[in-house]
Amino acid sequence: MERGAYLLTTNTFEQKLAEFKEYLKTMKGYEEAIGLMYWDMRTGAPKKGIATRSEAVGVLSGEHFKMSVSDKMGEMLEYFSAEAAFSRLDRVDRKIVTETKKEYDRSKKIPPQKYKEYVVLTSKAESVWEEAKEASDYAKFQPYLEQIVAANLEFIELWGYEGHKYNTLLDMYEPGMTVDKLDQVFGALREKVVPLLAAIQASPYKPNTQFLKQTFEKEKQKQFSLFILKQMGYDFEAGRLDETVHPFATGLNPGDVRITTRYLLDDVNSALFGTIHEGGHALYEQNISADLIGTPLCTGTSMGIHESQSRFWENMIGRSRPFWNHYYGDLQRQYPGQFDQVSVEDFYRASNEVKPSLIRIEADELTYNLHIMVRYEIEKALFSESVRVADLPELWNEKYREYLGVTPSNDGEGVLQDVHWAGGAFGYFPSYALGNMYAAQITRTLRKELPAYDELIGSGNLIPVKEWLSDKIYQYGKLLTPTEIMTEVTGEELNPDYLVHYFREKFSDIYKL
Amino acid sequence: MERGAYLLTTNTFEQKLAEFKEYLKTMKGYEEAIGLMYWDMRTGAPKKGIATRSEAVGVLSGEHFKMSVSDKMGEMLEYFSAEAAFSRLDRVDRKIVTETKKEYDRSKKIPPQKYKEYVVLTSKAESVWEEAKEASDYAKFQPYLEQIVAANLEFIELWGYEGHKYNTLLDMYEPGMTVDKLDQVFGALREKVVPLLAAIQASPYKPNTQFLKQTFEKEKQKQFSLFILKQMGYDFEAGRLDETVHPFATGLNPGDVRITTRYLLDDVNSALFGTIHEGGHALYEQNISADLIGTPLCTGTSMGIHESQSRFWENMIGRSRPFWNHYYGDLQRQYPGQFDQVSVEDFYRASNEVKPSLIRIEADELTYNLHIMVRYEIEKALFSESVRVADLPELWNEKYREYLGVTPSNDGEGVLQDVHWAGGAFGYFPSYALGNMYAAQITRTLRKELPAYDELIGSGNLIPVKEWLSDKIYQYGKLLTPTEIMTEVTGEELNPDYLVHYFREKFSDIYKL
């Protein structure tokens, strides 16, 4: 197509709109194919096919990217963003145009050659990171990380920024989030969590957790995970559960939202809570309104809101007393003889043990946020250029001592533990802690609007909870921003006090503070 | 791109060739994605995602088709087909150009609107066929079949034909195959098979097959199937085995060739021979030369040659006496107690029972070819317009009586039994019988070139056989035509006498004729 050809057509507004939507649907078709190809590579694609497969993924990703920045896309967006056409769009279509334009503008600002080099760099960095982590050899990874940070600083200049440079990165994962807001909420949270943690550590009432570490047959774990997913309202006609080393959820379309889990034979809780977590992500994606299928709005609105749902189901539901009051009998029957001597109260307390540790992904509900704050402080410092990449290991260890009171014995269990930076995903980590705060705040409203909340959970009736969340959050996909969701559902913007309140109540009880 | 822009570029021959190959590789990327999407839909995609998935497949197929008939493709082919450029291509690239041009010409001759209507028609016809078969109601399916035959007659006029109109359809599945050749080889085959079948039916030495029909645990069947696949040299790092209602093999790339099977709990042989059959297809695709990856030559050369490999492994190997002399002990150990009273000879004979039946996919090795000949005669008559679609049930039943001596009690087990015609796949059926003839002819050469053939099989050493086939056939993919393969490997073109000879020798022995 010639540049300008689209704008010159004599098609009506309606014809142009239909053409625009068809174009977006084609892009979604690519996304579904790419999503399936990744799912397949992680769940069981034969390894000798991976090289050719990766090229095929590259082909489709390339075609998808070309469509996203094509002249035609530019002209369609020019037409629909202009007042004359925009004013004739309904609410959903307006949001589709603004979201698509945001992506388009972001992509267009990076010169294609630079972007290509960056993709190659991060792809290489991810494999170097794997070796560096294995060998606890930060020096090996450092030059890659330096280049990745430098590239991101360059991108930020091209994209533009307001206030802190890091804001531009935060906005990619949590639209509207800024350093100012995060400093405030993380500060407030840390101020309350640190003394609470100290009190917990000083408590003589430590839960016994030994019985969690027996041997549990994989097939039985799987059956129990499937049973709980069913209870949550996960729709097995619109999803499936598979096994992977690193669990994940992937929404190909609302009728096909897959989750994976990992079974540890010596731990009764790992696969279970992992499955509930991914199940929470999946409930979100399964319940997006069918009206949004084939549009860019057919996905969760942000990483933080998405994580609020996985954490809500994992922690606020799965690690709650009413939940175990109801389901503990099922668990006991699932593993005959293995929990005969364990009371439901002991099991509940063990499943909520708080213990500062080195590894984020193994952290408990309370200390998890401190792991995130360490990463947040480091990312902020990197993008205000107040710390050098070379100094990260030292800074990391110092922050861990300060926030968690533990010190890594090597960089493999320290600064090299997460893959995120190797992939250039700066600004992503805060989503995890935001998810916890959102989840507590949403839970408070949920309790008000479903007054029998504890009784519902305590009688194994989780469906009304899923339906309330679908009604208030899930159905909207990306139609509402995170701030709109929070304001419309809870009546106020993000407020860390609800998480603090939830922690205090829960852990004062468990640790008899 | 403007029409003509490609030919006008000042790019060198080498640059143009690289661009052409990149273009073909992109198309292969689409094919891999589409192949995976189909595999996934058949092996376990959640049913509520199927509608959106089908649209995504439609999107990718549409883009792939557009590339295959684009102006750019036309211009690239124009450039490379012309003597100046063609003479500079090596053997592989020449074949790539001629194969691609053949496809291009075929696609361009059908007006896009007509093609679209045909896709809708056959897609609708397939679901109508399913209901019609279920209800044994030919009248329901007949109008669709009439339209599909009419559309194919129209396509044949557009494509052109030499001799019989049906030749054009045959050529799509078996390049170079004609009615004249098929009449000759099928005639010769039928002339010998019919009296052999009569002799077998008259023989008092019928194998006892009762012991094949005990109860066999699925997991044990699966383990044994996996074991035999491994023995054949199927590479599990380049493939996997899954379960489906209708078994199939799909080559996404030579490093990822998947097969599926179906386990019947009351039949020890069904899944086993089904797996060996699909495994034969898979060996072909796994062993195509890596040089051909990303090109249109990276697939089997024809349906007939492909089928020769599945049938070779299933029948010439899997249903042979030396094979069972070696593996029967493994089978007995796999199902403890279930074959204690059964000798290897009895098992071998039972696995080779010959019995005329109504259903093609359940037919034995000998009578299978007669089922194919019935379909061939009918297709030939349809495209010489010497029979009306309305008369097919009667013609079908008459041919079954004549060729196999059995008569369907309804059209569900008669003319409606196969899905092929609903999908418009006329010309496909002969491939199955061609596969049998090719397989016997290839086996004869193989026996000459590997003189210890029987000893190898009889000692469970199947790898040299796989390697010989890889060397002679598999590695070439579509680089050689079926006729070239047969001539270069066996020294002559297709000759039905080898299959006749193989049948006579095998069944005279089994039935003591």
Q: Assign residue B449 the CATH number of its domain.
A: 1.10.1370.30
**B114, part of any domain:** no
**A378, part of any domain:** no
Give the ipTM. Answer: 0.92
Write the residue in A33, A49, A238 that is nearest to B60 by C-beta: A33
Chosen for mutation from A1, A52, A53, A57 (greatest number of chain B CBs closer than 10 Å) is A52
Q: What is the pLDDT of residue A2?
A: 54
Asked whether the predicted pLDDT for residue A436 surpasses 70, the reply is yes
- Put simply, the answer to whether A56 touches B29 (Cβ < 8 Å) is yes
Which of B68, B83, B109 finishes a domain?
A: B109
For residue A58, the chain B residues in CB contact (below 8 A) are: 29
Report pLDDT digits (tens) over A347-359: 999 999 999 999 9
Q: What is the mean pLDDT of the segment spanning A449-460?
A: 97
Domain count, chain A: 2
Do A325 and A459 sit in the same domain of this protein?
Answer: yes
**B91, part of any domain:** yes
Average pLDDT of chain A to the nearest whole number: 96
For residue A53, the chain B residues in CB contact (below 8 A) are: 32, 252-253, 255-256
Asked whether the predicted pLDDT for residue A112 surpasses 90, the reply is no
**A11, part of any domain:** yes
CA torsion angle B271 B276 B277 B279 (round to 10): 120
**A134, part of any domain:** no
Helix, strand, or coil here: A249? strand
For residue A56, the chain B residues in CB contact (below 8 A) are: 28-29, 32-33, 253
Structure tokens given for B210: 């009762």
Binding site residue list of B for Zn(2+)? 277, 281, 307
Which of A51, A74, A106 finishes a domain?
A: A106
Asked if A71 has any chain B CB less than 8 Å from its own CB, the reply is no
Do B275 and B242 sit in the same domain of this protein?
Answer: yes
Asked if A48 has any chain B CB less than 8 Å from its own CB, the reply is yes
Chosen for mutation from A50, A53, A293 (greatest number of chain B CBs closer than 10 Å) is A53
For residue A239, the chain B residues in CB contact (below 8 A) are: 46
Kindly report the nearest CA distance between residue A225 and chain B, in angstroms. 18
Asked if A91 has any chain B CB less than 8 Å from its own CB, the reply is no
Do B443 and B408 sit in the same domain of this protein?
Answer: no
Do A308 and A450 sit in the same domain of this protein?
Answer: yes
Q: What is the mean pLDDT of the segment spanning A151-172?
A: 97
Write the residue in A25, A29, A52 that is nearest to B253 by C-beta: A52
Cα–Cα distance list, A157 to A109, A154, A164, A169, A427 (Å): 10, 5, 12, 11, 16
Q: What is the pLDDT of residue A116?
A: 87
Q: How many helices (H) and strands (E) does chain B have?
A: 22, 3
CA distance A310 to A283: 9
Report pLDDT digits (tens) over A54-82: 999 999 999 999 999 999 999 999 999 99
Using pLDDT thresholds of 50, 70 and 90, give the confidence band for residue A9.
confident
Do B228 and B318 sit in the same domain of this protein?
Answer: yes
| Cβ contact A271:A75 at 8 Å | no
Range of the domain at B46: 5-109
Strands (E), A299-453: none
| Cβ contact A507:A354 at 8 Å | yes
- Put simply, the answer to whether A26 touches B59 (Cβ < 8 Å) is yes
Asked whether the predicted pLDDT for residue A1 surpasses 50, the reply is no
- Put simply, the answer to whether A237 touches B59 (Cβ < 8 Å) is no
The angle formed by the CA atoms of residues B212, B371 and B344, to the nearest 5 degrees, is: 25
| Cβ contact A306:A284 at 8 Å | yes
CA distance A369 to A357: 12
Asked whether the predicted pLDDT for residue A6 surpasses 90, the reply is no
Using alpha carbons, select from B277, B299, B278 the residue that is nearest to residue B288: B299
Q: Is A379 annotated as a binding residue?
A: no
Do B423 and B480 sit in the same domain of this protein?
Answer: no
Structure tokens given for A166: 């890091």
Q: What is the pLDDT of residue B1?
A: 46
A261 has which bridge partners?
A243
Do B177 and B225 sit in the same domain of this protein?
Answer: no
Pairing of strands A256-261, A241-243: parallel
The angle formed by the CA atoms of residues A464, A469 and A472, to the nearest 5 degrees, is: 120
In the predicted model, residues of chain B with pLDDT beneath 70 are: 1-5
Which of B430, B454, B487 finishes a domain?
A: B430
Report pLDDT digits (tens) over B83-114: 999 999 999 999 999 999 999 999 999 998 89
Do B300 and B344 sit in the same domain of this protein?
Answer: yes
Report pLDDT digits (tens) over A375-396: 999 999 999 999 999 999 999 9
Q: What is the mean pLDDT of the segment spanning A238-255?
A: 96
Q: What is the pLDDT of residue B300?
A: 97
Do B222 and B98 sit in the same domain of this protein?
Answer: no
Write the residue in B33, B49, B257 that is nearest to A238 by C-beta: B49
H/E stretch holding B251: strand B249-253
For residue B36, the chain A residues in CB contact (below 8 A) are: 33, 36-37, 40
CA torsion angle B358 B363 B366 B368 (round to 10): 70
Write the residue in B25, B52, B253 that is nearest to A255 by C-beta: B52
User: Tokens 């209507």, residue?
Assistant: B117
Asked if A237 has any chain B CB less than 8 Å from its own CB, the reply is yes
Using alpha carbons, select from A470, A144, A35, A484 the residue that is nearest to residue A289: A470
In residues, how long is chain A? 513
Using alpha carbons, select from A300, A265, A235, A246 the residue that is nearest to residue A431: A300
Q: What is the pLDDT of residue B116?
A: 87
- Put simply, the answer to whether B36 touches A32 (Cβ < 8 Å) is no
Write the residue in B29, B49, B240 that is nearest to A253 by C-beta: B49
**A424, part of any domain:** no
**B134, part of any domain:** no
Do A100 and A215 sit in the same domain of this protein?
Answer: no
Asked if A230 has any chain B CB less than 8 Å from its own CB, the reply is no
Using alpha carbons, select from B156, B60, B71, B67 the residue that is nearest to residue B106: B156
Q: What residues of B are annotated to the active site?
A: 278
Do B284 and B179 sit in the same domain of this protein?
Answer: no
Q: What is the pLDDT of residue B2?
A: 54
Considering only residues 270 to 299 of chain B, which have any Cβ-Cβ distance to chain A shorter than 8 Å? 293-294
Chosen for mutation from A31, A256, A289 (greatest number of chain B CBs closer than 10 Å) is A256
Write the residue in A30, A33, A46 that is nearest to B238 by C-beta: A46
Q: What is the pLDDT of residue A449?
A: 97
Asked if B28 has any chain A CB less than 8 Å from its own CB, the reply is yes
CA distance B144 to B496: 36
User: Tokens 């998947």, residue?
Assistant: B258
Do B456 and B345 sit in the same domain of this protein?
Answer: yes
Using alpha carbons, select from B226, B223, B205, B225 the residue that is nearest to residue B350: B205
For residue A429, the Cα-to-chain-centroid distance in whole angstroms is: 9
CA distance B229 to B231: 5
H/E stretch holding B260: strand B256-261
**A17, part of any domain:** yes
- Put simply, the answer to whether A33 touches B37 (Cβ < 8 Å) is yes
